[in-house]
Structure 1
Amino acid sequence: MSGKKRYDNKKRLLKNGESQRKDGRYCYKYQQGGKARYIYSNRLLPTDKLINGKYELSLREKIAKLEKDIAYGIDIQNANMTVNKLVEKYISYKTKSRYETKSKYDYALQYLRNSVLGQSKVCDVKQTNAKDWIIELSNKGLSYNTIKMINSTLKASFSMAIQNDMVLKNPFSFRLNELIEYDAIERKALTEKEEKELLNFISGHKRFSKYYDYFIILLGTGLRVSELCGLTVSDICIEKRLIYVNHQLVIEGNKKTLQPPKTKSGIRVIPMLESVYLAFKHILENKEDCIETIDGHNDFIFLGKNKRVVTKRDISRWICKIRNEYNKTHQQEIFFTAHSLRHSFCTRMALRNMNPKILSEIMGHSDVMITLSLYTHATFDVVISEMERIDKQYLDNSYNQFYNKSSTSYTNL
């Protein structure tokens, strides 16, 4: 019986392992890991008509792909898992991820779960599918940075799939900025003039003057806002004018918690500028008792009017109100966020020729190149003044002799 030729209902000869079921669907049976496996399709050949207009690879195309995958050592069984399952598996290995990072993963899954891409098999996803989905997210109004975060999660998940012989290529290996428009607001430091005018505005404002100390400290230390919020009295040495940074305040769900800084380099000691010293002294002299205890600490420095610890959300909300009010009363509008103040400090120190390595340590960057590449944006006026300063220091002025010769002629060139 095994040598008997088999035909489909169109009288076409079927190859070994191929068969046609009573409902008209085609089936291919093969062995893997000592178990019988099956592939199905409504069409035998690529030239057969689509069923109900729905595209599907023909059985012969699926067999060819299967044989190619086996030849390349692809794990066929795992390659049939959905993209949703792949990303969930990738995230499950990130056991040491911080809460904020895990939240980003969950956010990516939220958009993936109900999509066609998420329900697709890993082995079936092509780069065109990945790009179509990215464009779909952009059309839904997601920002560039949000899509970048989602894309990075998918890219890392498929890299894991490659390492585990599930696929050969990563469908998310493409330049995102060549596919969708970069709409993120550029990180821009406040100029010295903008910084001075902003501080004058805050100090003279009836409602906002109470936040003056916050701005002085953020602009004078380069602290991350979460690090500022987590500072306790024991983290400050007024006598030596030092700030000891070894934790940050993070909100996990609705719970406040203290966690280590963003990187190991985030554990650092920051000397106080005179303005920062006076700000801390003013705060500590007027400090009330905190009614909250977070991870065994209750001597937090920065408190709201309810005597509870100020959070990153609180400061971001205050800054938004101050920015809007400032721009209403000033002809030259400025845009700044909580992070812009850290950015401005670093830029200001760099323009004052602080040693990049020392500046990197104060900022808590893991690599000095981060300090140099992300934070030191000189204004054009500063660029001009720097070139003029270098020109004055130029030792070899022999070119002046050439250009000052009135008899120099170019007519014979």
Structure 2
Amino acid sequence: MTKLIVNEWFNQWIGLLKGCRKPKTITNYKNYYQYYISPVIGHMDICDVRPMHCSKVLQQMSENHMNSSVKQTKVAMRCLFQYAVENDIITKNPVGRTVIVPTEMLQNSESTERSLFISDSDLCKFFSQAKNSIYSLPLRLILETGLRASELIGLTWDEIDFDNRLINIRHTLQYESSGGWYFITPKSRQGSREIYMTGNCFKILQMLYSAKEHRPKPENPLFNNVIFLSKLGNPIRTSSYNIAIRKFCKDAGIAPFSLHSLRHTFASRCIMAGISPKVLQLIMGHSDISTTMNIYVHVSRESKLREMEKLTTFEASDDSSLFCEKD
């Protein structure tokens, strides 16, 4: 039987994905394969790949990469080999239940999730540093809406309904190094949604609308209606936001966070305000409510302390008497 090297199979598989997957997804698959998968198993005969080889890919990644990247790489490997199963090239997908994310990564992900919530005191320090920058208002808007980065970057004035105080999410704006900027529809039906404006959100958007005629005119007419642009008239990339965020955090003397942390903080505030999981799912645009339940279960330390205070039903001047029975 003629050998089929994994690298060769990947090239066939990725070529067939064009038109079936969004360009961003294909680019991500290429990057995961090139940098993480291929160096470990790319030279192997596809029939010789076993779960232990796939586990080695994830194990090596776990040393220097975030849990989310490791999980996405596993998804890419599973899809790659599943297509081989469906075409009778191999009989069983080696990326099965036995291929798991390393335990230390799962433990690290818990601390990462906890760090995603930003306290009010840290936000105050942060925005005192960011207030005179072009990043201040878009970052504040995420805190009021829970927008994804791509939704914020691609937000256009035709999605804003001031009369009904609604933001109508209908597309996102993505950047590819090979093809530049392009608008795409949300990945899922739930991604297209209406978000009601808070009072602060309404004020932010009104301020931006009043000032839009005074900003630099974009060179590319594609961006004429985009709300947030750089001083050169181009959309602001996620990496630019995160670089600015890290600088503001450093200047404010607080722990660094990312653009996504603001979305997480919005969701956590919604939970603390008593918004139901189903309503929060609609606001966030999650296709599966389990995502809402699993990711946004963490609340701030201050909130936990307030809840624990409710358990205090008496006062004691001598703490040694708290657990002593009276005669």
TM-score (ref. length: structure 2): 0.81
The 3 A distance-change label for structure 1 pair 262 and 316 is farther
The answer for the alignment partner of 1:363 in structure 2 is 284
Higher helix residue share: 2
The 3 A distance-change label for structure 1 pair 260 and 286 is same
The answer for the alignment partner of 2:191 in structure 1 is 266
Return the alpha-carbon distance in structure 1 between the equivalents of residues 125 and 53 of structure 2.
Answer: 53
1:56-95 paired onto structure 2 within 5 Å: 80-95=3-18
Equivalent in 71, 80, 83 of residue 160 of structure 1: 83
Matched, 1:246 2:246: no
Q: What is the SS of the residue equivalent to 1:119?
A: coil
- 2:136 maps to a residue whose letter is Y
Give how far 1:340 is off: 0.6
Q: Are 1:190 and 1:344, in contact at CA under 8 Å, matched by a contact in 2?
A: yes
The 3 A distance-change label for structure 1 pair 114 and 128 is closer
Equivalent in 272, 278, 290 of residue 351 of structure 1: 272
- 2:144 maps to a residue whose letter is G
Deviations 1:312-349 (A, max 9, x none): 2332222121122112xxxxx33321001011001101
Matched, 1:302 2:228: yes
Larger Rg belongs to: 1
Q: Are 1:224 and 1:342, in contact at CA under 8 Å, matched by a contact in 2?
A: yes
Return the alpha-carbon distance in structure 2 between the equivalents of residues 387 and 365 of structure 1.
Answer: 31
| Higher mean displacement: 340-349 or 141-150 | 141-150
Equivalent in 317, 322, 331 of residue 243 of structure 2: 317
Q: Are 1:241 and 1:272, in contact at CA under 8 Å, matched by a contact in 2?
A: yes
Return the alpha-carbon distance in structure 1 between the equivalents of residues 292 and 53 of structure 2.
Answer: 37
- 1:155 maps to a residue whose letter is R
Matched, 1:276 2:201: yes
1:5-404 paired onto structure 2 within 5 Å: 80-95=3-18, 96-111=20-35, 115=39, 117-136=41-60, 141-173=64-96, 174-178=98-102, 181-182=105-106, 183=108, 186-187=112-113, 188-191=115-118, 194-199=119-124, 201-202=126-127, 204-205=128-129, 208=132, 210-253=134-177, 255-287=180-212, 288-289=214-215, 291-292=217-218, 296=222, 298-327=224-253, 333-383=254-304, 385-386=306-307
Return the alpha-carbon distance in structure 2 between the equivalents of residues 175 and 124 of structure 1.
Answer: 16
Q: Are 2:52 and 2:99, in contact at CA under 8 Å, matched by a contact in 1?
A: no
Return the alpha-carbon distance in structure 1 between the equivalents of residues 265 and 182 of structure 2.
Answer: 28
Give how far 1:250 is off: 0.7
Q: What is the SS of the residue equivalent to 1:256?
A: strand
Return the alpha-carbon distance in structure 2 between the equivalents of residues 261 and 384 of structure 1.
Answer: 38
Give how far 1:260 is off: 1.1
Return the alpha-carbon distance in structure 2 between the equivalents of residues 136 and 119 of structure 1.
Answer: 17
Q: Are 2:116 and 2:264, in contact at CA under 8 Å, matched by a contact in 1?
A: yes
Identical aligned pairs, as a percentage?
Answer: 26
Return the alpha-carbon distance in structure 2 between the equivalents of residues 255 and 243 of structure 1.
Answer: 26
Q: Are 2:194 and 2:283, in contact at CA under 8 Å, matched by a contact in 1?
A: yes
Q: Are 2:117 and 2:299, in contact at CA under 8 Å, matched by a contact in 1?
A: no
Q: Are 1:249 and 1:258, in contact at CA under 8 Å, matched by a contact in 2?
A: yes
The 3 A distance-change label for structure 1 pair 368 and 172 is closer
Deviations 1:351-387 (A, max 9, x none): 1111222211111111222112112312354345446
Listed as ranges, the gaps of 5+ residues in structure 1 are 1-75, 328-332, 393-405
Listed as ranges, the gaps of 5+ residues in structure 2 are 314-324
Return the alpha-carbon distance in structure 1 between the equivalents of residues 51 and 126 of structure 2.
Answer: 52
- 1:220 maps to a residue whose letter is E
Structure of higher RCO (CA pairs closer than 8 Å, 6+ residues apart): 2
Q: What is the SS of the residue equivalent to 1:244?
A: strand
The 3 A distance-change label for structure 1 pair 372 and 294 is farther
| Higher mean displacement: 255-264 or 274-283 | 255-264
RMSD across aligned C-alpha pairs, in angstroms? 3.2
- 2:13 maps to a residue whose letter is Y
Give how far 1:391 is off: 10
Return the alpha-carbon distance in structure 2 between the equivalents of residues 229 and 114 of structure 1.
Answer: 32
The answer for the alignment partner of 2:320 in structure 1 is none
Give how far 1:221 is off: 0.4
| Higher mean displacement: 83-92 or 336-345 | 83-92
The 3 A distance-change label for structure 1 pair 317 and 363 is same
Give how far 1:159 is off: 2.4
Return the alpha-carbon distance in structure 1 between the equivalents of residues 37 and 139 of structure 2.
Answer: 42
Q: Are 1:256 and 1:294, in contact at CA under 8 Å, matched by a contact in 2?
A: no
Return the alpha-carbon distance in structure 2 between the equivalents of residues 310 and 137 of structure 1.
Answer: 29
Aligned residues: 309
